[in-house]
Amino acid sequence: MHDHTPPPPKDDPAFAKHDHHRCAGEGLARAEEILAGRKVRLTPVRRRTLEILLEDHRALGAYEVLERLAADGFGNQPPVAYRALEFLVDHGLAHRVRRLNAFTACRHSGQDHAPAFLICRQCNAVAEAPADAVRSALDTTADKLGFVIERSNIEALGLCPACRDAA
Amino acid sequence: MHDHTPPPPKDDPAFAKHDHHRCAGEGLARAEEILAGRKVRLTPVRRRTLEILLEDHRALGAYEVLERLAADGFGNQPPVAYRALEFLVDHGLAHRVRRLNAFTACRHSGQDHAPAFLICRQCNAVAEAPADAVRSALDTTADKLGFVIERSNIEALGLCPACRDAA
DNA sequence: CCTTGACCTGTTATGATATTACATAGATAT
DNA sequence: ATATCTATGTAATATCATAACAGGTCAAGG
């Protein structure tokens, strides 16, 4: 792509300041909770992958994640990252942001979630907005056509509050 | 990817039968109308690219479009296709379906449009659903966070009526 | 007319993203 | 303990996308 190592966004979860260490820790705890019920394992690679995503309030490309995994002694071939990321996405612990070809930790796991991503074209911040209303409008639309939605991706590009003010 | 030459979907614009020849012709006419106002040209490559997208009620990859363009005597290097496609997208004559890394002709050009794509995971049909309601819900959501939306991508994966019935 | 500049097209080369296929190792269940 | 299922590692390759530059077309103004 072209914007490969963007500056880390100032703030982000909904573009407001927050206690980051706490929100990362909670993410992991919630993940274990969620997976406990299902017959799947949060293996070391998977766990570490989630940690990596949680450490950063931005969307990371698969190869970026891979580098970090390799640095930690895991394999250094693409499937290592893609598989772990796919696992996390399948279990609702992470989301794929298609516009950026990137992945981000889910900030509302556990809750029934239909996320919408708000991507700032200026600072690259990515906010996961609660999108229940959006999703339900989408369901209604699909319903009229007899289409059954299984998964959805809702993404918007624009300006976050900080960048809009700066402009 | 993995599903590179899918069988053409049975029906599609909203998954219902329709007079295709007519809908393709209208697409072109509408394009010329729209561009007339702006100071841009619908050059041969661009026009042919739009035709190619209109011919098919599915999303085509850039390389797929490129092959057809090359067969018609245009250049056969990726930028040829990407540039024409980007032009069409910028002017609202086509849309990019990110989930499929593909492009599709806009079926509602001219109208103020915020499309939502319903993608059948079985037969690969892609319907462009009117999503004004969805878009307005999204605007409301973004507004609460002070985020200004400039472009949006709304895509859903699931089963179209035909495939659901077949299952 | 004929030059200038904007824009379009073509091509080479390369970069970035993602998957297939297969081999090995670890966990689970009987 | 052994069969089985799942997960990991690696090599090779497929797929998608862009940068950079050269040459061509066309309309506007001198």
pLDDT tens, position by position, B12-29: 555 666 666 666 677 777
Q: What confidence tier does A53 reach under pLDDT thresholds 50, 70, 90?
A: very high
Give Cα separations from A75 to A60, A63, A67, A68, A84 (angstroms): 18, 12, 9, 10, 12
Angle in degrees, CA B138, B144, B150, rounded to 5: 50
Closest CA to A118 of A154, A88, A94, A151: A154
Q: Which of residues 45-104 of A touch strand D (CB under 7 A)?
A: 45-46, 74-80, 83-84, 87
CB-CB neighbours of B20 under 10 Å? 15
Q: Which nucleotides of D are covered by protein (CB under 7 A)?
A: 6-12, 15-20
- Name the residue closest to the C1' of D10 by its CA: A77
B122: pLDDT strictly greater than 80: yes
Range with the poorest average pLDDT among B18-27, B129-138, B154-163: B18-27
> Is any atom of strand C within 7 angstroms of residue B142's beta carbon?
no
Q: Cβ–Cβ of B142/A156 closer than 8 Å?
A: yes
CA of A101: nucleotide with nearest C1': C17
> Is any atom of strand C within 7 angstroms of residue B79's beta carbon?
yes
Q: What confidence tier does B124 reach under pLDDT thresholds 50, 70, 90?
A: confident
Compute the count of residue pairs across chains A and B with CB atoms less than 8 Å apart. Answer: 140
What residues of B are in contact with residue A147 (Cβ under 8 Å)?
A: 15, 118, 120, 127, 129, 156, 158-161
- In this predicted model, what pLDDT tens digit does every residue of A105-118 receive, in sequence order? 998 766 667 899 99
Closest CA to B150 of A96, A83, A30, A159: A159
Contact A137, A119 (CB under 8 A): no
Half-sphere exposure of residue B131, counting CA atoms within 13 Å on the CB side? 27
- Name the residue closest to the C1' of C13 by its CA: B77
Q: Which residue in chain B has the smallest CA separation from A16?
A: B145
pLDDT of residue B34: 82
CB-CB neighbours of B70 under 10 Å? 14
Range with the poorest average pLDDT among A9-18, A44-53, A147-156, B64-73: A9-18
Please enumerate, as own/partner, the contacts of B4-11 that have beta carbons within 8 Å and a separation of 24 or more.
B6/B58, B6/B123, B6/B124, B7/B123, B7/B124, B8/B56, B8/B57, B8/B58, B9/B57, B9/B58, B9/B120, B9/B123, B9/B124, B9/B125, B9/B126, B9/B160, B10/B123, B10/B125, B10/B162, B11/B57, B11/B125, B11/B162
Residue B136's contacts (CB-CB under 8 Å, 6 or more residues apart) are A137
What residues of B are in contact with residue A114 (Cβ under 8 Å)?
A: none
Domains (range + CATH), chain A: 13-166 (1.10.10.10)
Q: State what percent of residues in chain B have pLDDT above 70.
A: 83
Give Cα separations from A41 to A36, A87, B9 (angstroms): 8, 10, 38
Tokens for A154, please give them: 């809702």
CB-CB neighbours of A30 under 10 Å? 17
A4: pLDDT strictly greater than 70: no
B141 part of contact set with chain A, CB < 8 Å: yes
- In this predicted model, what pLDDT tens digit does every residue of B37-82 receive, in sequence order? 788 899 999 999 999 999 987 899 999 999 999 999 999 999 999 9
pLDDT of residue A14: 54
Q: Cβ–Cβ of A146/B120 closer than 8 Å?
A: no
Q: Comparing A71 with A124, which gets the higher pLDDT? A: A71
pLDDT of residue B16: 61
First to last CA, chain B: 25
CA–chain centroid gap for A69, Å, is 17
Angle in degrees, CA B83, B116, B120, rounded to 5: 95
In angstroms, the CA A43 to CA B80 distance is 45
> Is any atom of strand D within 7 angstroms of residue A41's beta carbon?
yes
